[in-house]
Amino acid sequence: MHPITDALPATLCYLDGEYTALRDAKISVLDRGFIFGDGIYEVVPVYGGQPFCFEEHMARLDRSLAELQIVNPLSLAQWRDIVMRLIAPGGNAPQAVYFQVTRGVAPRDHAMVRGLTPTVFVMVNPLPPVADAVRAKGVACVTADDFRWQKAHIKSTSLLGAVLSRQISVEAGAAETVMFRGDWLSEASSSNVWIVKDGVLIGPPKDNLVLTGIRYGLLERLCREGDIPFALRRVSRDEVFGADELILSSASKEVLPVVTLDGQTIGNGQPGPIYKSLYAAYQQAKQRNAEKQGATA
């Protein structure tokens, strides 16, 4: 056995109606998720023992399943019950719940097979926070052409494009790979990308060329509450390099300031005031969610 395989955790996971140790969970080699990447996934952060933006994540799961013509096998209440059981042992520590639904098991054939029972898998991982020292300094990123497919809005398990794009930044010693389709900003390998210019937070529009992160809606709300102008539109490469601030957002990064891109300084080379305002508002939103959900549990 490989040492990584030997070290797989014994934490509880959910697979097709059963709770079992993660290291013991097994699927068929003919599962279409394994053979084709024919499935979708979601990742929901958990703070203070409560899932954060749970309904929004589940709505995106529904949208992705509909794009693949897979019927959601569980109700919102059933998904929540699974989540609450799996996160309970973690107490109030930050966690990330990973959901995966595939079309199911069938003889290998590219055509969609009707009437299959979807494979449903859910697991929980620790969600280590970005270090305060990293946030205070900001991170470096690199750029690349967005060589992925034209249906980036589907949160598909077919993530080879994301793997290859992330490796570009790994090999460059950078935090992320910011991608462009031609001259236009799309997203990073596993993050959405935002610029700040003249006090306005600006991101690419919601279309098939980006995976609209849950933070899209959250940041729009936080901007509204904080009187920060917010806009979605095409963003050029020159605008990115000429931005006052450059910010990443994702479930694991929350919001994270980028201070250099391809070795060029962004803004004044320090995390900016819009980032700082959004990060503080984000922490307040997490606390309010944990208190509200905990009170209604």
Choose, from 26, 151, 155, 197, the residue flagged as catalytic. Answer: 155
- Is-contact 101 71, C-beta < 8 A? no
Q: How far apart are CA 118 and CA 28, in angstroms?
A: 12
- Is-contact 163 192, C-beta < 8 A? no
The yes-or-no answer on residue 276 being catalytic is: no
Catalytic residues: 155
